[in-house]
Structure 1
Amino acid sequence: MVLVVDIGNTNIVIGVYNGDDITGSWRMVTRSEKTSDEYGIFILNLLNYNNIKQEEIKSAIVSSVVPNVMHSFQNALKKYFNIEPIIVGPGIKTGITIATDNPREVGADRIVGLVAAYHLYGGEPLIVIDFGTATTYDVLSESGEFKYGITSPGIQISADALWQKTAQLPSVEIKKPKSILARNTITSIQAGLVYGYIGQVEYIVKKIKEELNIENMKVIATGGLGRVMSDETDVIDLYDPQLLFKGLKIIHDKNVK
């Protein structure tokens, strides 16, 4: 079995692959102050609860955009599983080409998502949208070359900023109201957030296609709010909630003999 881990700014998402099948996935809040013992025991408890034995985990792969977490997390895997994990980063085999101005600046999560999109849905130009803490729009050529990426504040960050920086606006659930014509404060905020974000997605996708002069680009979405967005706009062709897990497994298999 293979442990796949995506360490994001908000959550750490953990999955287990048995062959090519994912047998479970879990998430925990990202906190840089946790020790290796806390991480190790937490993972063990998750596995035990799901009837997965510690010794069944033979290897692990980790992508991270939070450097402060990595020392403790790597040590947890070494101490509790006797595993030296594969770390997604420079020099690792991915099957795609990072052709940005500074490839070392590209986040590991973006690389993983692009790898999965290319291997599973490639053969034509792609736009990969990851609705995470930040929302990223990455452009991948039919030959697997990544040159262009756009980054915007995630919808949750936008919502948090709105009610933290205003004295009278409340915190609300992020969901699409029945109409953009809001008649109270709650639906007014929801309309601005959700309809506004739908507009952002549609405009950015439109401008990417326009500037590249490529109309037929497949648009793949992932991330927590990807389902909400994909249900509300026809510019997204496919929503894959496990895109990063799939990318981690693909990279793992490329780098393990």
Structure 2
Amino acid sequence: MLLAVDIGNTKIKAAVFEGSALLEKFIFSHEDALNGVKIILKKFPKATQSIMSVVGKEDNNLLLWLQGNTKLTAVNHTLQFPFTNKYATPATLGIDRMVLAAGAVLQHPDKPRLVIDAGTCVTYDFTDAENQYLGGAISPGLQLRYNAMHNFTAKLPLLYPEMPQSYIGNSTKASMHSGVVNGLLHEVEGFIAQYNQEYQDVTVILTGGDADFLAKRLKNTIFANSNFLLESLNLLYLYTNHK
């Protein structure tokens, strides 16, 4: 069994896998990281292997504990990935983006893929049919957009994601919801259209904390999977350890 741990900007997500099957998923705060992982391994004592990727702040206590209690694969830029990295500044490419690209390559071979991760930020990561990672884009996520309007204006309230009833907002709150949600939806649709113009039959994968929220309104054919990063960690582990 494998324990996959994703240390994100706002939360820590973990899952236990047996082969390709996800047995159970867990979400906890950074403060509860070490205790949360101990509880998971008490429930799944056969999870003697682990893999961890870090986007948020490094947790040295968790790292040391996993090294001492499991056989840990720490994902970093030196790990072998199933794609050729064509990013102009490969050392600055986020580990989470590399993991998502690896999962897309391994799960959808021989075709171009666009992974859209709608989390704190929205990241777009593209690999072509020749398994070359070409890059993508980064933009503010839903809550960041709400926060920015509240923090950098005098009177706009702090709101949280809510699906607008109409694209024409008839109040300040309705206008903000329309601007944030419809704005991001148009952004996503626009990026998908651009990639489909240049590449044929692009497989689009939508993941992240806001994936399910956005997927209901997207017109394009996509694979919505909020667990894709954890599944990609599992696929990357299988790739690096069983080649």
TM-score (norm 2): 0.91
Q: Which amino acid aligns with 1:218?
A: T
Q: Would the aligned equivalents of 2:195 and 2:202 in 1 still touch at CA under 8 Å?
A: no
Distance 1:47 1:228 in 2: 31
What is the DSSP-based 3-state SS (H/G/I as helix, E as strand, rest coil) of the residue aligned with 1:216?
coil
Q: Which amino acid aligns with 2:206?
A: A
What is the DSSP-based 3-state SS (H/G/I as helix, E as strand, rest coil) of the residue aligned with 2:216?
helix
Structure 1 unaligned blocks of 5 or more: none
Distance 2:70 2:103 in 1: 24
Q: Matches of residues 85-234 of structure 1 in structure 2 within 5 Å?
A: 85-210=72-197, 213-234=198-219
Distance 1:151 1:115 in 2: 18
The alpha-carbon deviation at position 58 of structure 1 amounts to 0.7
Q: Which amino acid aligns with 2:61?
A: S
The alpha-carbon deviation at position 76 of structure 1 amounts to 2.4
User: 1:23 matched to which residue of 2?
Assistant: 23
Moved over 6 A (4+): none
The alpha-carbon deviation at position 255 of structure 1 amounts to 2.6
What is the DSSP-based 3-state SS (H/G/I as helix, E as strand, rest coil) of the residue aligned with 1:76?
helix
Q: Which amino acid aligns with 1:65?
A: V
Distance 1:224 1:161 in 2: 19
Q: Matches of residues 66-81 of structure 1 in structure 2 within 5 Å?
A: 66=56, 68-79=57-68
Q: RMSD of the alignment, in Å?
A: 1.9
> Which whole-Å deviations, capped at 9, do the CAs of 1:174-226 have from their partners, x for residues lacking one?
1221211222222221111111111111222223344xx22432211111112
Structure 2 unaligned blocks of 5 or more: none
Q: Which amino acid aligns with 2:49?
A: S
What is the DSSP-based 3-state SS (H/G/I as helix, E as strand, rest coil) of the residue aligned with 1:110?
helix
Distance 1:41 1:216, change over 3 A: closer
Q: Would the aligned equivalents of 1:39 and 1:72 in 2 still touch at CA under 8 Å?
A: no
User: 2:33 matched to which residue of 1?
Assistant: 39
Identity %: 25
Distance 2:41 2:48 in 1: 13
The alpha-carbon deviation at position 47 of structure 1 amounts to 4.9
The alpha-carbon deviation at position 101 of structure 1 amounts to 1.2
What is the DSSP-based 3-state SS (H/G/I as helix, E as strand, rest coil) of the residue aligned with 1:138?
strand
Q: Would the aligned equivalents of 1:132 and 1:225 in 2 still touch at CA under 8 Å?
A: yes
What is the DSSP-based 3-state SS (H/G/I as helix, E as strand, rest coil) of the residue aligned with 1:248?
helix
Distance 1:39 1:180 in 2: 40
Q: Would the aligned equivalents of 1:221 and 1:236 in 2 still touch at CA under 8 Å?
A: no
Q: Which amino acid aligns with 2:18?
A: N
Q: Would the aligned equivalents of 1:134 and 1:154 in 2 still touch at CA under 8 Å?
A: yes
The alpha-carbon deviation at position 77 of structure 1 amounts to 1.4
TM-score (norm 1): 0.86
1:59 aligned to which of 32, 49, 60: 49
